[in-house]
Structure 1
Amino acid sequence: MFPKALLIFLLVTFIAACSVPESKPDKVWRHAEEAAFAADISPDGRFSVVSSLTQGINVWQYGKEEPIYQWSHQGAGSNVVVSVHISADNQYVATSDREAFALWSMRRGEPVGFWRIDESSVRDIAVANEGKGLLVARSNGKVMYFEPMTGRRLEFLGHQEKVNSVDISPNGKFALSGGNDYVAYLWSTESGQIIHTFTHPSRVTLVAIDDEGRYVFTADSQQKSQIWNAQTGAPVSNLQYIARQKIFTDAVFSKDGKRLLTGAPSRRVYEWDIQTGEQINEWKVAPRENMSPPSAVVYGVGYIDEKHVLTESSSGLAELWSREND
């Protein structure tokens, strides 16, 4: 039998070893005075778009102290935008609340269009380069592909239940969607035909397409978080972690195709080796003020350069972090 004092010491040591130490960012910017509802970071880290209750939608350029644009989704009143996506070419932004979605021009700082959904609520949104195509995930299991310039619409009917997450290739030709039916699909926006099917043991909560067309990422509500070959549909690696459950809120592939960066609702930011699924780095963002216990959701992650990553979280802060390992 272990002495009681030794047992307590070993238990405390084990807990300390399993916990993530408080991280210290290189730099911090206040992007929302109150809690943020949603955020996205452009693939090159140059821009962030942040939605908050009383300040609407603010567009920030990296390193600037004031937003370059301030947008209002529904006119006067409280802002309820809960989904934001920046196109891979930094030219357009898609935003949505549960009942409507909008497209904005980053060059002009003005809205391109505003559309309302009557049949079912909006769950997620994504926009292609040049604003040529929008994906709208819906609670009725349908995904709408919409071309604002031409008015063309296509409904993808592959899912049997609520769709939780969507992403679109930069050229707008390929869509990725995942839902409560335990399945993610890569499909053509030209024909609506399924290209690859990715199955999970529980509901799919997040999907992401590599902008270079090499990989896709799908994660479920339990323990399967998989990187796949976008061309063949074959598995590349499964993210390696011990936890029985790990939820992700955002994911982006590095430009060199070696790393995957993910955010989580537990203040955590993780970096992974794409080929092995092994964790490379981990950071812990600042919690929301006056929250007990301390908490924050990481909404957006992005690479600034080879040595730095940027995060946006529900705390209303943008935080810059140094990468320690390669």
Structure 2
Amino acid sequence: MSIFRTFLYLQCCTLLIACSEQKEHATASYEHAARGAFSSALSHDGRYSLISSIHHGVALWDNQQQVLKYQWFQQQDQDSLVHTVAIAFDNSHAVTAEKTTFAVWNINTGDNVGYYKIKTATIRDIAISNQGRSVLYGRSDNVVVYLNLETGRRIEFLGHQEKINVVDLSPNGRFALSGSNDYVAYFWDTQSGQVIHRFNHPNRVTQVALDPQGRYAFTADSMAQAHIWQLTTGDLVSKLKYIARQKIFTAVRFNDQATRLLTGSPNRLVDLWQIADGEKIQSWHVTPREGSKPKSAVVLDVAFTNDDTALLTESSSGIAERFTIREANEHN
């Protein structure tokens, strides 16, 4: 290849890359935490963002109106911070957790409807069911607790051998998914505490998620395995296909049709995957906070819009962003 042709080739590649990157830029962005966010949760439809930050407590944003709906202050110790937040699938309630306390909030009224303190170990992750009827939280002492807030019924799941990293709860509160440093994720029944499926990994399990319709589960470990499982049989559906030696997921979401999966990572990266074969469809980068060092951001949560034409992100930069999903024929 001549120098001239090489020059033209490089120019064309540069233009193609520039055009491609231009398409991946956020179509809208909104500042939700002036100095960055500590934790965040998006509602399943992207309607709400729940943000915990050092300087503003916990804030609930209405993403349709782009207004601050509520600002909640938990009865926290000076040295404690809300580190885990979650929104119920039906957008009725939210839960915010510190190390040894959690609070439940009514999204319609903004009222606090319960404040709870645990006596053993610390909370590592938390989830809430529809109508705020129950919560599920994982503790540092290897125990997962299911608590029915209406009846007070409590189940302690003792299947894990190491501290719990992540939990998820079905919208009706009937089924739980938990992942631990013991290299195992368990799918179990919250009424009986019985294990339905055991999902093994070669490293500690750092991310789990349930398809709200009960079709699939997602589990990922701290190194290089991310799996999608069929919940009725426990069979492996697909493995996410990537070449990185180590890939950590900090957020995950199934779309309503259970055909696609969104993931977020600690290096600003958001990926869209095909569930059937684990192939990557499209990628984006969230925006780091201006002047931040290092110039990066952790993707705290992701969500599809109702029509699956766009996605929303919340990151540690304190910025919510909206990205466009290209049509299937554009991915080729």
Q: Which residue of 1 aligns with 2:139?
A: 138
Q: How far apart, in 2, do the equivalents of 1:86 and 1:225 lie? A: 24
SS of 1:287's equivalent? coil
SS of 2:68's equivalent? coil
Tell me the percent identity: 47
Please, what is the CA RMSD of the aligned residues?
2.1
The answer to whether structure 1 residue 316 and structure 2 residue 318 are counterparts is yes
Q: Which residue of 2 aligns with 1:3?
A: none
Is the 8 Å Cα contact of residues 241 and 280 (structure 2) preserved in structure 1?
yes
Deviation (angstroms), 1:44? 1.1
Is the 8 Å Cα contact of residues 73 and 79 (structure 1) preserved in structure 2?
no
Alignment of 1:60-209 (within 5 A): 60-74=61-75, 80-209=81-210
Alignment of 1:201-280 (within 5 A): 201-280=202-281
Letter in 2 for 1:318: A
Q: How far apart, in 2, do the equivalents of 1:179 and 1:94 lie? A: 21
The structure-2 alpha-carbon separation of the partners of 1:183 and 1:70, relative to structure 1 and needing over 3 Å to count, comes to: same
Show structure 2 runs of 5+ residues with no match: 1-5
Letter in 2 for 1:302: A
Letter in 2 for 1:253: F
The TM-score with structure 1 as length reference comes to: 0.92
Is the 8 Å Cα contact of residues 101 and 114 (structure 1) preserved in structure 2?
yes
* Range 112-121 or range 205-214, more displaced: 112-121
The structure-2 alpha-carbon separation of the partners of 1:221 and 1:75, relative to structure 1 and needing over 3 Å to count, comes to: closer
Q: How far apart, in 2, do the equivalents of 1:77 and 1:161 lie? A: 29
Q: Cα deviations across residues 212-242 of structure 1 (Å, max 9, x unaligned)? A: 1110000000011000001110000000000
Is the 8 Å Cα contact of residues 133 and 148 (structure 1) preserved in structure 2?
yes
The TM-score with structure 2 as length reference comes to: 0.90
The structure-2 alpha-carbon separation of the partners of 1:79 and 1:140, relative to structure 1 and needing over 3 Å to count, comes to: closer
SS of 2:67's equivalent? coil
Deviation (angstroms), 1:65? 3.5
* Range 61-70 or range 313-322, more displaced: 61-70
Q: Which residue of 2 aligns with 1:306?
A: 308
Is the 8 Å Cα contact of residues 80 and 99 (structure 2) preserved in structure 1?
no
Is the 8 Å Cα contact of residues 53 and 78 (structure 1) preserved in structure 2?
no
SS of 1:271's equivalent? strand
Show structure 1 runs of 5+ residues with no match: 1-5
Q: Cα deviations across residues 120-144 of structure 1 (Å, max 9, x unaligned)? A: 0110000011111100100000000
Letter in 2 for 1:39: S
Deviation (angstroms), 1:21? 5.0
Q: How far apart, in 2, do the equivalents of 1:324 and 1:78 lie? A: 45
Q: Cα deviations across residues 2-61 of structure 1 (Å, max 9, x unaligned)? A: xxxx9xxx9xx9xxx9xx958420001110011101111111111111111111111111
Letter in 1 for 2:310: H
Q: How far apart, in 1, do the equivalents of 2:189 and 2:38 lie? A: 31
Is the 8 Å Cα contact of residues 288 and 296 (structure 1) preserved in structure 2?
yes
Deviation (angstroms), 1:205? 0.2
Deviation (angstroms), 1:63? 3.5
Q: Which residue of 1 aligns with 2:31?
A: 30
Question: What is the total number of aligned residue pairs between the two structures?
Answer: 314
Q: How far apart, in 2, do the equivalents of 1:131 and 1:98 lie? A: 20
Q: Would you identify which runs of 4 or more consecutive aligned residues in structure 1 move more than 4 Å?
A: 20-23, 75-79
